[in-house]
Structures are given as C-alpha cells and as structure tokens.
Amino acid sequence: MAVRDLRVDMQAIIDARQRSPEDPTEPYLDLKTGEVLLSMDEDITGEPDEVQALLAEDPDRLELIVREDSHEGWARMRDFADAVDDDDVRSDLQRALEGQGAFRRFRAAVARDPDLQAQWRAYEWDGLAREGEEWLKRRLEIRAIYDRPAWMQAVAMPAPKTAESALTILDVLLLGAPDGKTELIDGKVRRRVPARDPAHARKLFKLLARDLAQLNGREWRKRFIEGQSSYEIDRYKLIQTDDGVQLEIAISPDLWRLFV
C-alpha cells in the first residue's frame, strides 16, 4: 500500500499523546479528516458516545492515539539539556533529571529563564511532532501534512548536536596521537586536537575540561577554567593553545614498559 498524504491537526495529536493518566477520554485520529476525536464513557457524560458509534460503523476509519511513555519524555528533556551551550545551565538541567521528581524539577529549572523556557517549549513540540509523523508513516502509511505553530517562528533553538560537540577525552586518547605515534616524553604521553583558530580552541578546551571533570567524578563548574588556559586533574592536564588543545597524561616508567 502506498503512503498517502493527510492534513492532520498535529497540536491535537500532541495533546492526546501527552494527556494525563487520569484523563477519562480516549482520543482517536480520524483517518479521513485528520481530526482528533475524543471518546468518553456514556456513564460519565450521560449521552451516547458518537465516536464509539462511528468506530462500530467503520472500524478502519479511526486509530487510537496511545499516550506517550514517560521514558520518551525524559529522553527528550535529556537531549535538550545536553544541547544547551551554557555550561552552568546545562549542568543544572542535567542534575534536575536525576532520580525521582525529574519532570517537575526540569520544568521548574527551565521556567526560571523565559528564553530557555521558550526554547524548551519549541524543542518539545518539534520532537513530539516528529514522533507523530513517524507513527503515522510507520503504522498507518500516512505522510502527515501540518502547520507548525506561529509562536515557534521567533524562538532561537539550541544548536543541534554535531560530532565536534560529542568530543570526549576518550576520543582524544584514541585519535589524537601526534603523527600517529605514541611516545613517552618527560614522563608524559601527549595527545592533541587541532583547532581552526583561538576561538575554536577555546570551545574545544571548555568541552574537554568538562568531560575530564565528569570522567573523574567531579561536579563541573565553568569557573574552574575562567581566565585559565590549562586544567589539571590527577595525571591529566589539558592545555589550550592558539591552534588547538593538548592533553598530557603522566605515565610511570613501569607502566610504560608494559606496552613496549
């Protein structure tokens, strides 16, 4: 069966997927009109349920919209938090998502900053809309046609993740050997990440310093490197230069001899 286009009320689909577990209604998507129809028990309304009557008359016309699993919502908040550029804000959001009460703490955290709250609202809407599109196409072979809300046009979204933003200390250790060689010089092994310019080097330095702190179980704060061009924890030392970032790892001679 070929995929067909259908104009849908995406906002209504999103509302249906995010409805409360206590909501007594059952939402259905009308596969002919793209509308969302709400069914409610006649014992509650005291009136005949027209949605159930339509479903009995034509079972293939309506599709039940299943409520979103809480894990999906948590994963979306985590992805948003990870994409925030400001180190302190990102750390606050990530901490808010730990343990019970994560949804409440996360929403309280974004609410403290109107711009951040607007970004989250747009990010959440886009994520839910994409998931709605995938559901329609995969399950019902429908290509969703819909309009994004007008309020989203003025919202500055966080930059999408890139390979660079996912750079970690482990990547530097694996890939950053100068000239592809591993040498012990003055008791240290060195790794390097090149940068396009000093601003790019600073961005990489901040990214790797945070990862180094987290790798060693330390809570990150951007003040750790404010005004500094190096950051050191135990055997590891990061050094920012104009053309990149260098990682130095102190290695004992006995440990070195295990590999040579």
Residue pLDDT tens, the chain, 260 long: 688 999 999 999 999 999 888 888 899 999 999 999 999 877 666 677 888 889 889 989 999 999 888 888 999 999 999 888 787 888 899 999 998 899 999 999 999 998 899 989 999 999 999 999 999 999 999 999 999 888 877 676 555 556 666 788 888 888 888 877 888 889 999 999 999 999 889 989 988 998 898 888 887 777 889 899 999 999 999 999 999 999 999 999 888 888 87
pLDDT of residue 159: 53
Residue 154: which H helix or E strand, with range? none
SS3 state of residue 254 = helix
Length of the chain: 260
The DSSP string of 67-110 is: PPPHHHHHHHHHHHHHH--SHHHHHHHHHHTSSTTHHHHHHHHH
- Domain residue extents for the chain: 19-64, 70-154, 169-257
71-74 long-range contacts (CB < 8 A, ≥24 apart) are 72/131, 73/18, 73/103, 74/102, 74/103
- The model carries a pTM of 0.58
Q: Which DSSP state fits 217?
A: T
SS3 state of residue 148 = coil
